[in-house]
Amino acid sequence: GLEVIHATADDFDQYRTQKFIVILGGPDAPEGVGDIVRDSGILKIDNVDYIREKGHRARYDGTNPWGLLPGQRVWILAGSDRNLTREAHLTYGGAVAEEVLALAAPPAEHPSEPEPVDPCPMDEKNPLNHTLGFESAEARGDVYICQVVYSEGSENWQIKLYNQGEEDINLKRYKITGTGDRYYRFNAYVETNIIKAGGYYTLYAAEISTSTLRLPPARGYLTLSDPSDNVIDKVEWDLLS
């Protein structure tokens, strides 16, 4: 736990550089406490006017008010008289104590980073052959076709894209073309077609009309084109050979 030190205004200077300080009393508190409150500058003019009105109590806080310790936190619990200052302590003291404990707690340990995963794993059922002649995956554009997956039948498929770049990319106006030159173009007026940097975007058959793009499960090809219709990736598969 934390050690709590009770100090008077007379010996406050030796504790002025403590990381956490709680002051009980307002700008007019007796025995030198009011001088410390005013010197901190935490209470602005309207705060002082408020706390001086009969029946008022409040809590205030500031960071490094004397410029002696970066990150220092100071709380003031005050009332318009001694009894209301006591009420302020009873009302706000518990919350202040919780804040102090939270600030004093050591930072949580972050879990270790997961091991990197192959961004385009070979699908055993539908192995893909990239046929645009790139020497490596890194030589391709930022977005490329990662997987083509079938569940049951040619009407139940998925196309997975991968963004190997360092920035998010909006896929609007990108085009996927399949066998028979049937194609699907991402809607230019939808702002949600975002593929995160290092992330995937999966296009499901149910999302588009099968009259525009149809994939035979056994043998076929797909091309991916950018908004200017430049082909940036082409994959082929043949499960019959």
Residue pLDDT, tens place only, 10-64: 999 999 999 999 999 999 999 999 999 999 999 999 999 999 999 999 999 999 9
Confidence of residue 122 (pLDDT cuts 50, 70, 90): very low
The two tokens of residue 15 are 């504790």
Q: How far apart are CA 213 and CA 154, in angstroms?
A: 11
Q: Is the pLDDT of residue 127 over 80?
A: no
The answer to the question of residue 206 being in a domain is: yes
Residue 122 lies in a domain: no
Look up residue 101 and give its two tokens: 């404990």
| Domain identity same for 138 and 231 | yes
Q: Among 72, 104, 136, give the residue marking a domain's end.
A: 104
- Report the pLDDT value the prediction gives residue 172, as an integer from 0 to 100: 87
- The residue that leads in pLDDT, 231 or 192, is 231
Q: What is the CATH number of the domain that holds 168?
A: 2.60.40.1260
Same domain membership, residue 234 and residue 151? yes
Res. 83 pLDDT band, cuts 50 70 90: very high
pLDDT in tens, 162-199: 888 889 999 988 999 887 788 888 876 556 688 888 88
DSSP strand E in the chain: where? Answer: 20-24, 57-63, 73-79, 129-130, 143-150, 157-163, 169-170, 175-178, 183-185, 194-195, 200-204, 219-225, 231-238
Task: Provide CB contacts within 8 A for 48, sequence distance 6+.
Answer: 26, 27
Give me the domain span that covers residue 54.
9-104
Residue 217 predicted with pLDDT over 90: no
Q: Which of these three, 104, 119, 149, is where a domain ends?
A: 104
Whole-number Å distance between alpha carbons of 171 and 186: 6
Separation of first and last alpha carbons in the chain: 71
To the question of pTM greater than 0.85 for the whole model, the response is no
Which pLDDT band holds residue 156 (cuts at 50, 70, 90)? low
Distance, CA of 215 to CA of 235 (rounded, Å): 12
pLDDT higher than threshold 80 for residue 241: no
Q: What is the per-residue pLDDT for 137?
A: 55
Of all residues in the chain, the percent with pLDDT exceeding 90 is 34
pLDDT at 115 over 50: no
pLDDT at 124: 40
Q: Would you tell me how many other CB atoms lie within 10 Å of the CB of residue 44?
A: 10
Highest-confidence segment of 80-89, 96-105, 196-205: 80-89
Number of domains in the chain: 2
Question: 219 and 170: one domain?
Answer: yes
Q: Is 123 a domain residue?
A: no
**Mean pLDDT score, 79-99:** 92
Question: Would residue 1 count as lying in a domain?
Answer: no
- What is residue 41's predicted lDDT score, i.e. its pLDDT? 92
Q: What pLDDT sits at residue 193? A: 81
Q: Does position 125 have pLDDT exceeding 60, yes or no? A: no
Structural domain contains residue 117 = no
* 225 pLDDT more than 50: yes
